[in-house]
Chains A and B, each alone.
Chain A
Amino acid sequence: MNILFPVIANLLLSLIILLISINIYTVYRRKYILWFVFALFLLPVLFIYAIFESLYLKNIWGVLFYPLIIIIAEIAVIMAQKNLLSSLKAEEGEEYRLLLREDIALIRAFGKLANYFIGRISLLVGIKSVEEILDECIEEYPILAGCYIGVDEKLNTEAMEAGMGEVVEGRMEEICEAFSYLIIKLIDLYAAMVPYGEIVDDMVKAIGRIDKKIARYFMPFILFKIILEPFLREAKGDELRALRLSADIKGIYIGRKGEIKYHWIYRFEEEEREEKFVELLRIILAIFENSEEIKKEITESFRKLPENVKENIYRYEFIKKLPKGILDEEKIVLMSKERLIEELIDRQKKLEEAYERLAEAKLDKMKSSFIDIIAHEIKTPLTAIKTYVDLMRKEKLGKLTKLQKEKLEKVAKNIEKMTKLIDDMLQIPTIDAKELELRKELFEVKDIMEKIIDDTKEMAREKKQKISVDVEPALTVFGDKNLIEKAIKNIVTNAIKYTPEKGKISIKAMREGNYAHIQISDTGKGIEKSELEKIFEPFYSRGGGAGLGLAIAKNVVESHGGKIWAESVVGKGSTFHIVLRRKRE
């Protein structure tokens, strides 16, 4: 049985685990990870020993090495766990912030906040009244069960933490509501003995110690207890009465002394909570006749908040909802920041588009010049070959045998084919270019037709075809004469090519409003309906040839703002239509 294979595989796997854990340690240098790395390091050691033992070591005592190494590894794992546990309990180091469950962190933060007030209250009235409040809160909110006032006269939440079970969605709000109820009661009791202004200072200090990741759950506490309540506590009797009557907002209750009970607000969504705050703020401002002084004081209260909670408050979505006169400067800064970001995104998009266009244009240019160079490099030696072949065929370089003549004819034909192919290649840039450089002029259609007939008559004569031309007198076209001639010639050449011997080709050109309509008809084999669209695509060929002629014609005509299309009846022939502008616009 092969023992080596699984051992080597295990060795490799343990090395992978070790490498990943080392990687984690290098990024996140914590002591407990180092213990884990040490434990994992022992695994490959064990497998290396297993290979060594099965190959060379036959002593029975060598087996003791296995449990020994396992014991050391297990001790290392326990050390790692103990280390992490003590660090979490003592709330030290980064692992506390990173790994601690959000609900546990929330309970602890509320616990600390409550202890802040319990410490002060117990000094003034003893711990008994605090215990009574806690009992009442537990009765109201059973989720707080397990919380108790310890011998150190502090709120202990360990048992509650232990009973939390898994993190359940919606549980956070439940915790917030229960603890907010407790804290509101503690503050009320404390406020009976100490001026509220001093309590606010204490609250700002206490809130400054809250971890950023759970700070958002304390938003209602900050907004209602720190920002708004000081004004209500100082309000006159009739103002407060008016406020209590008009502020009928679900989730918020204003007491006789101006205390705000907000704990039910956690039953609403986060956005709704903010809206309720803004609504209450507007009512308060209305009662105080939109006093600029109050607005200024509220702004100051916001600005005094510690940095860890400001991040949650200084959000554009929230700040923009605040009434005019409150945090105006911050609104401008955030608004310009928002706009700046939008503008930056917009500019980046534009830049990317411009870069794409530039790259495309560059590529087009490179392609054109590459084809140009290649085609010319082939054409030059080909011309020399053609000249010498012609001289030989005309026996200017000496007499030829019949066989030599025959073979030279074939060479000449192939040279002709190659020349045609190179000419087609040279036309490729004409198809690719999105906007052709047009040298527009006004010219008579008759002129180009004469030239086209002159160039193609030899080809038609070879196939005994008849070409008829009917051009309306003085019919003009406004466009690039050379390119339009090339386009029409391509169609005529195709017509000759695909029309059988003794066939007919007719070219007509007539006026149609501001346009000149040119028709090239043949009596060829025709084109299938499914092919009619495809024939204008580059490199689509029905017979021999590169399949570029019609694609070039289409690009030329469309660059002039004209139209080109084909009609055909299979077995009877085809008609190509070109419509071009007659005059300058």
Chain B
Amino acid sequence: MFKTILFILTLISLILPILSYKYFMQLMMLVRIRRGGILVSGAVTLLIGYIFFMLPWIFVGEDIVEIRVFSYYVIMLGLIILVYGVMRIYLDWRGVIK
């Protein structure tokens, strides 16, 4: 029961980024966010970390500490990329936005 619910929720959380990517591509055709690539790579890394985090729970049904720590480090990498991207966007916009 637990595994089924977890599987369905994880599946939804993995389908939604596909939808988000579709919107992102539409946006990139209209707008000029130069750091778009950085944001995407940050978000993809986060997603990979999240998948690793969920894998033991879905397939084994319990936590594996080594994989959890590994996923945290992958997520950390994604967050570092995002910090850089958000910071650059903030610096780019600072002079323009009123």
Contact = CB atoms under 8 A, between A and B. Distances in A.
Interface of A: 1-3, 6-7, 9-10, 13-14, 16-17, 20-21, 23-24, 27-28, 43, 60-61, 63-64, 66-68, 70-71, 74-75, 77-78, 81-82, 84-85, 88-89, 98-102, 104, 161-162, 164, 167
7 contacts: A6-B73, A6-B75, A13-B83, A70-B50, A99-B32, A101-B32, A161-B30
Contact of B16 (A64, A78, A89): A78
Nearest to A167: B32
B23 A102 contact: no
Interface in B52-67: 53-54, 57, 61-63, 65-66
Which of B29, B69, B87 lies at the interface centre, i.e. has the most chain A CB atoms within 10 A of its CB?
A: B29
Nearest to B34: A167
B79 A71 contact: no
Contact of B23 (A23, A28, A64, A85): A85
Given A13-B80, A20-B87, A78-B19, 8 more contacts: A64-B5, A64-B6, A71-B12, A78-B16, A78-B20, A88-B27, A100-B32, A161-B30
Q: Is the interface of B mostly helix, strand, loop or mixed?
A: helix
B86 A21 contact: yes
A64 B12 CA distance: 13
Contacts of B89: 24
Which of A6, A24, A84 lies at the interface centre, i.e. has the most chain B CB atoms within 10 A of its CB?
A: A6
A64 B53 CA distance: 12
B32 A102 contact: yes
A14 B83 CA distance: 8
Contacts of B79: 10, 13-14, 17, 43
Nearest to B53: A66
Nearest to B74: A6
Question: Chain B interface: which size bin?
Answer: 35 or more
A269 B60 CA distance: 67
B9 to A, nearest CB: 4
B66 A1 contact: yes
Given A3-B72, A27-B97, A78-B19, A162 B80 contact: no
Q: What are the 10 A-B residue pairs with the smallest beta carbon separation, nearest first? A: A6-B72, A67-B9, A81-B23, A13-B79, A74-B16, A99-B31, A28-B97, A70-B13, A101-B32, A20-B86
Contacts of A101: 30-32
Contact of B27 (A6, A43, A63, A84): A84
A425 B65 CA distance: 74
A2 B57 CA distance: 20
A72 to B, nearest CB: 10
Nearest to B9: A67
B86 A17 contact: yes
Given A6-B72, A6-B76, A75-B16, A64 B9 contact: yes
B30 A100 contact: yes
B27 A81 contact: yes
Which of B10, B24, B65, B72 lies at the interface centre, i.e. has the most chain A CB atoms within 10 A of its CB?
A: B72
A21 B31 CA distance: 19
Interface of B: 2, 5-6, 9-10, 12-13, 16-17, 19-20, 23-24, 26-27, 29-33, 50, 53-54, 57, 61-63, 65-66, 68-69, 72-73, 75-76, 79-80, 82-83, 86-87, 89-90, 93-94, 96-97
B97 A98 contact: yes
Contact of B24 (A7, A68, A81): A81
A73 to B, nearest CB: 9
A99 B33 contact: yes
Contact of A67 (B10, B33, B66): B10
A3 B97 CA distance: 41
Contacts of A13: 76, 79-80, 82-83
A6 B53 CA distance: 13
Contacts of A20: 83, 86-87, 90
Nearest to A36: B86
A21 B85 CA distance: 11
Contacts of A68: 9
A67 B86 contact: no
Given A16-B83, A161-B29, A77 B20 contact: yes
Nearest to B82: A17
Given A28-B97, A71-B9, A85-B23, A63 B57 contact: yes
A3 B66 CA distance: 9
A17 B23 contact: no
A311 to B, nearest CB: 17
A162 B10 contact: no
A71 B24 CA distance: 17
A60 B17 contact: no
B2 A60 contact: yes
Contacts of A66: 50, 53-54
A6 B70 CA distance: 9
A84 B20 CA distance: 13
A523 B12 CA distance: 101
Contacts of B96: 98
Contacts of B17: 74
B61 to A, nearest CB: 8
Given A67-B13, A71-B13, A81-B27, A9 B76 contact: yes
Nearest to A21: B86
Contact of A88 (B10, B31, B63, B66): B31
Contact of B29 (A2, A60, A67, A162): A162
